[in-house]
Copies of this chain bind each other. A is one copy, B any other.
């Protein structure tokens, strides 16, 4: 009955599980042990493998930070070179995958496309090996392909020819290159790289948990990542950064902010970009992004959205700060992407392009001591009763 890969040891099935209290949404309930990420919500601090997010955002790259989570330590130069090279080699999609994308309706939602293509890639994976080593290479290949999938679909839906990946560019710069068909300037590439670092992992969030639950049956990495994409799509999770931009358009001008906030609070309408289940202080990612958003708005001389957001923050913190409600990462990521010229419905896919490294790192870690998620539920339905034949209903 026992397997080396975990789960359902006879000893474990024998003893009854301890009764546990019900916490809706599993709030406060630990579901796994992990070395990868730590959030200090009261202090507003975020660490990957012990390194503060501020240090990584300013000094590291997406590739290096992904290495950190996949291997548990910062790489030496030659190790980083090897990873960067493997990522670059894996950027191109199989031709059949491009053919699939070209058959999709142009109206398809990008997150749906990303989920479908992640799932499809499994059927082109010829490697039967399921070792941790082969799964790490799978994680790298999936991560490498996420930007290509999204850029390819975006070009095609605009009736533009997809742009081949440029092996001279890093992960973030190449994504912008494939999207726009020209190399980004260094500052823009750096902002995108930094945004990817900020979104790379975030402890046990809903999409990471969805990936783990799926992976826990010893299903494959494509299944796990597809679940992550599907969960991230939801407006209560990754979809929130698109909502912020829609809200800014609705507010229209900084002078309307206070009226908007008071009205929304009175009507209990959700104000996107604020509050977080874990952070009860300023989200450190929002602080970093805000500074970049400010610089971009000065550089581009387009400051309307930044001004609205800045005033929105002040208004919300004045009214809700005492309740632990502060800006979260979504408040400023949207305006940064908008200033770079990225379509609104690609904001959540960019979140996924970063987070896929975190999802896979968590799955690889979980598989080391896998245990299937087979929770309980509280039955509140009818008592046992006899089946009523159709004629007596």
Contact = CB atoms under 8 A, between A and B. Distances in A.
A236 B7 contact: yes
Contact of A109 (B103, B123, B274, B371): B123
Contacts of A379: 33-35, 37-38, 203
Interface stretch (A140-148, A166-174, A180-188, A317-325): A317-325
A254 interface: no
Interface residues of A, number: 135
Interface in A107-148: 107-109, 112-113, 115-116, 119-120, 122-124
A1 B274 contact: yes
A207 B376 CA distance: 13
Contacts of A49: 381-382
Contact of A226 (B7, B119, B371): B119
Nearest to A9: B268
A242 B3 CA distance: 17
A103 to B, nearest CB: 7
Contact of A323 (B10, B38, B238): B10
Interface in A76-121: 76-77, 80, 96, 99-100, 103-105, 107-109, 112-113, 115-116, 119-120
Interface in A211-242: 213-220, 222-224, 226-227, 229-239
A159 to B, nearest CB: 18
B223 A219 contact: no
A239 to B, nearest CB: 7
B28 A20 contact: yes
Nearest to A80: B390
A376 B29 contact: yes
A204 interface: yes
B227 A214 contact: yes
A8 B275 contact: yes
Interface in A1-15: 1-8, 10, 12-14
A302 interface: no
A23 interface: yes
A384 B24 contact: no
A250 interface: no
Contacts of A203: 377, 379
A371 to B, nearest CB: 4
B222 A30 contact: no
A247 interface: no
Contacts of A109: 122-123
Given A213-B231, A324-B13, A371 B24 contact: yes
A230 B359 CA distance: 15
Given A18-B21, A219-B237, 16 more contacts: A2-B268, A2-B269, A10-B325, A14-B324, A24-B371, A26-B29, A26-B31, A30-B376, A50-B381, A107-B123, A119-B230, A209-B374, A217-B237, A218-B239, A219-B230, A219-B233
30 contacts: A1-B268, A1-B325, A2-B268, A2-B270, A7-B25, A8-B275, A12-B27, A13-B323, A20-B20, A22-B30, A25-B373, A25-B375, A26-B31, A30-B378, A33-B378, A49-B381, A49-B382, A51-B385, A74-B387, A75-B393, A76-B390, A80-B390, A107-B123, A109-B122, A112-B119, A113-B123, A116-B120, A209-B213, A210-B214, A223-B230
